[in-house]
Chains A and B, each alone.
Chain A
Amino acid sequence: MDVQLATSMFTNYTQIPCYDEMFDIDGTPRPHYARLFQFLSEISSDQFEPRRQIADMDFLRRGITFTVYSSEEGVEKIFPFDLIPRIMPMAEWRLLEEGLKQRIYALNCFLHDIYHDQKILRDGVVPADMVLGSSNFRWEMVGIEPPHGIYIHITGTDLIRDADGRYCVLEDNLRSPSGVSYMLQNRTIMKTTFPALFDGQNVLPVETYPQELLKMLRFVSLVDNPQVAVLTPGIFNSAYFEHSFLARSMGVPLVEGSDLVVRDNRLYMRTTHGLKQINVLYRRVDDDFLDPLAFRSDSVIGAAGLLNVYRAGNVTLVNAPGTGVADDKSLYKYVPNIIRYYLSEEPLLDSVPTYLGRDDEDRRFILDNISELVVKEVNNSGGYGMLIGPHATAKECDLFRRKVSEQPWNYIAQPVIQLSAHPTYTSEGFAPRHIDLRPYILYGSEITLIPGGLTRVALKKGSLVVNSSQGGGSKDTWVVADDEHD
């Protein structure tokens, strides 16, 4: 079939210096993208644009929105969705899967160790002051044995690809990672807006995630046939849609702090017929707000006494409190050694080279090379509190130099990784935009991954920041079985 280049939205597609997911260096579509490329080359923007609008309306109608409180009546916005799917061949996915299982297993061993014997600290593999001095180390968790020894039931690891196409872990996200509902909703909306895209593609389904989640939540209970509930901060939380979606898909109640009551070291919820005990709480509330008696006393979105219920073994919290200590940005540097320490194996997934402000030699390197580096605050996320050296002004670099000198332990730096790029719909046709990948990993009777994930895309030209708070959007993510591309 002739590719109608005159009207193709790929006409002005110019590769940028990084790994392009769809095209190899000569501009030939990679085998697993051949069919998609063919389809998209034959479509005009007059055909594409209405579908994009339908997809946007669909998100709005389903209420998959977040609210911007700038006016009296809050303005509801949708997270931008790009209709061109990201495709991963099965073989590539298998490698990621093995690497992530290894990493999550080791991080869980690490958490168990630091809240019990602290062997790894005594052996000097990880600096003790970094762990014990972290604001995310929860002394309340020391000596507590979580059911089945599992701390990180749900992980959403952020991965990127470097210029050679190598996958690297960027962040581990061990505390209530969000976005999994987008993985599912993006797929649903893709199927209704662009069914033809799926023709002849063997895309592995993601729909069973909520069932897998429920299976895990039931497994980690200490009682038979447990009452499971999802705890949300409430309807004003930007992830409320996700919380209600997951509760609904599992058929379990979605509770708020005001529904919870602690009596006799047990957790209850208020129902129309009195109090009913909860055995497993999938909490989407941060540690700090979980229990005003144990953590922040001004919290009204948790339950007073909840941590005591947990310590008494009368409720399973998912994820366990105190996991944040294992995903802070300075600990990240030690994860490869953590894997070697507990598993006596080499890490399967690469990490990004990391320089620690707290380390004298690293700090000198950071200060000398700040304009070439990405500098991040150890305990910040969402793309806030960071400096991208090559994109920053001299004044901004000076500011961060001062910050790093004044609070060295609070900063890390990494070389700028040119994230891989993916064709994305823009006002000028298809253009390369940087992307990352967040698969979701469940840790129950075994560690499992749903084949897919959330691909976030930096919609601004040249931007390397994919966070939704910084103008990022998302894409449907396909893992395709290999046999279709022989």
Chain B
Amino acid sequence: MTNTINQDTTMLLSRVASSCFWLSRYRERAEFTARLLDIQLITLLDTRSGSEYNDWIPLLRINGCLDLLQKDGRAITKEAVLHCLCLDTQNPNSIMSCLRNARENSRQAREQISSEMWEQVNSMYHDLAHLSRSELIANVHPTLQNVKNGALLLQGMADQTMMHGEAWQFIRLGRFIERANTTCRLLAVRSAPDHNDDEPYREAMYWMTVLKSASCIEAYHKTYAAPVARNSTIEFLLFNPESPRSILYCLEHAMDALNYISGSAGRRFHNEADRVLGQMATRIQYLRLDDIDLIQFLDELNACLYDVSDLVMQTYCSYEVA
């Protein structure tokens, strides 16, 4: 006897689609935050400014928790920053908050994601939830390393243990939208006009840190075979077609996922989410760094990514039922 294949294996509950999208965004955010912090801690050993405040401000801006830390009137010390970025559940972008949200969304999407994925995200959550502030400070690098590797393992599990159907495409979409978003924030803060260093070696160190934070310094070296400099770093992070960390790459792959979901095959947009993202992805394909006012462009990009995220939710998850 052969079984009839369930015609609706592609059928995906709206609520579960949303959870797949968000679990993936939080996974990516946890990975990014861990790497950002890890790199900054190492960089600071060479380039301390003499003011802890100045050392940490850019990081807090990128993470979006500067106001939270300052609101409490706490001194900005290394310990306070570590706690805020890693364990503080008041900070919605702390690694702990990201893992908790990734786990809650995974729980909602339990019928779609594989057991391997669930056990991985669950273990990561419990590992960090049982960590005290003092344990964290004593073992910062191994802890951050575990988060990065654990998050990458989770991603690999999604790619290798799930059906590559619609739920997986929502996971893929979430990953690339989130990565474009964090890279955009990284660039916006790091290329802010107030940054200016006369010492050439410090300037090189600075942009090397940016590349390391985006996990692509080796890819950069391979591409340019030239010393690290501001413009080529920005160009690489925005336009490189082959680096999975560049914004161009992220948008193209996000577009591909959206096309799969809407069934549009990329020929013509089917809905607003397709249209808004497609317009930006196409535009960035044909841009050069000289064509744009960087800060203004990053603002537009940021706004576009927020809109796309909202539009995806409206189109597939929170639509009105007639």
The chain A residues found within 8 Å of chain B, CB to CB, are: 60-63, 73, 225, 227, 235, 240, 244, 247-248, 251-256, 258-259, 261, 263, 269-273, 275-276
Contact = CB atoms under 8 A, between A and B. Distances in A.
A270 B321 contact: yes
Given A240-B107, A248-B111, A73 B89 contact: yes
17 contacts: A60-B122, A61-B119, A63-B107, A73-B129, A227-B8, A248-B110, A248-B111, A251-B6, A253-B11, A253-B111, A256-B15, A259-B13, A261-B321, A269-B13, A272-B14, A272-B166, A276-B11
B123 A61 contact: yes
Given A61-B122, A61-B123, A235-B104, A270 B110 contact: no
B8 A244 contact: no
A60 B15 contact: no
B119 A63 contact: yes
Nearest to A235: B107
B316 interface: yes
Contacts of A269: 13
A258 B14 CA distance: 10
B201 to A, nearest CB: 46
A272 B12 contact: yes
Interface string B264-289: 00000000000000000000000000
Nearest to B321: A261
Interface residues of B, number: 31
A276 B110 CA distance: 20
Which 9 pairs between the two chains have the least Cβ-Cβ distance? A244-B110, A272-B316, A254-B111, A270-B14, A247-B111, A63-B122, A272-B17, A272-B12, A235-B107
A252 B112 CA distance: 9
Contacts of B4: 225
B238 to A, nearest CB: 31
B80 to A, nearest CB: 21
Contacts, number: 71
B261 A272 contact: yes
Interface in B1-47: 4, 6-9, 11-17
B108 interface: yes
Which of B111, B122, B123, B321 has the most chain A CB atoms closer than 10 A to its own CB? Answer: B111
A402 B298 CA distance: 75
B317 interface: yes
B119 to A, nearest CB: 5
B15 A259 contact: yes
B142 to A, nearest CB: 20
Contact of A272 (B7, B110, B111, B317): B317
A316 to B, nearest CB: 18
B118 interface: yes
Contacts of A251: 6, 9
Contacts of A272: 12-14, 17, 166, 261, 316-317
B202 interface: no
Given A240-B107, A247-B111, A272-B316, 9 more contacts: A62-B115, A62-B118, A247-B110, A270-B14, A270-B321, A271-B14, A272-B261, A276-B8, A276-B11
A269 to B, nearest CB: 6
B285 to A, nearest CB: 28
B193 to A, nearest CB: 41
Contacts of A276: 8, 11
A261 B320 CA distance: 11
Given A225-B4, A240-B107, A62 B14 contact: no
B126 interface: yes
B6 to A, nearest CB: 7
Interface string B291-321: 0000000000000000000000000110101
Which of A60, A63, A227, A269 has the most chain B CB atoms closer than 10 A to its own CB? Answer: A63
A66 to B, nearest CB: 13
A240 B104 CA distance: 12
Contact of B110 (A227, A254, A255, A263): A254
Given A63-B118, A235-B104, A272-B166, A255 B126 contact: no
Given A235-B104, A248-B110, A253 B126 contact: no
B61 to A, nearest CB: 28
A261 B321 CA distance: 9
B283 to A, nearest CB: 27
B15 A270 contact: yes
A258 B15 contact: yes
A253 B122 CA distance: 21
Nearest to B126: A60
A270 to B, nearest CB: 4
A431 to B, nearest CB: 31
B72 to A, nearest CB: 17
Contacts of A256: 15
A269 B13 CA distance: 7
Nearest to A275: B321
A236 to B, nearest CB: 10
A254 B11 CA distance: 12
Which of B15, B115, B261 has the most chain A CB atoms closer than 10 A to its own CB? Answer: B15
Nearest to A244: B110
